[in-house]
Amino acid sequence: MPHRSFDPETVSVMGLALDAAWAEVERSTPVRAAPEKAGIRRALALRIMAAVRAGQRDPERLCAVALHVIEGCRIVRADAHAPAGH
């Protein structure tokens, strides 16, 4: 796939969508390790870019499309299964 750049307005819309999606992830999921957070954020960004390439420009829709990528993924902190008192 050839490299495509985005105009400043589109980059701004993508940033708004990524920020909104990330805020939802942070609000609705347990604290994660830095590498896991980076992977999730990257997945959101890649999905947003793919949707923009397909013609989507609505930041709310882009946010929803990005969140759909991780919908249903239940990632639990490792210490969530530790016996009480440990």
Taking only the tens place, the pLDDT of each residue in 36-79 is 889 899 999 999 999 999 999 999 999 999 999 877 554 433 33
pTM for the structure as a whole: 0.76
Nearest to 16 by CA among 65, 62, 71: 62
Exposure of 63 by Cβ count < 10 A (0-12 exposed, 13-18 middle, 19+ buried)?
buried
Higher-scoring residue by pLDDT: 30, 3 = 30
Distance CA 6, CA 24 (A): 25
**Measured CA distances, 81 to 3, 26, 30, 71 (Å):** 44, 21, 13, 22
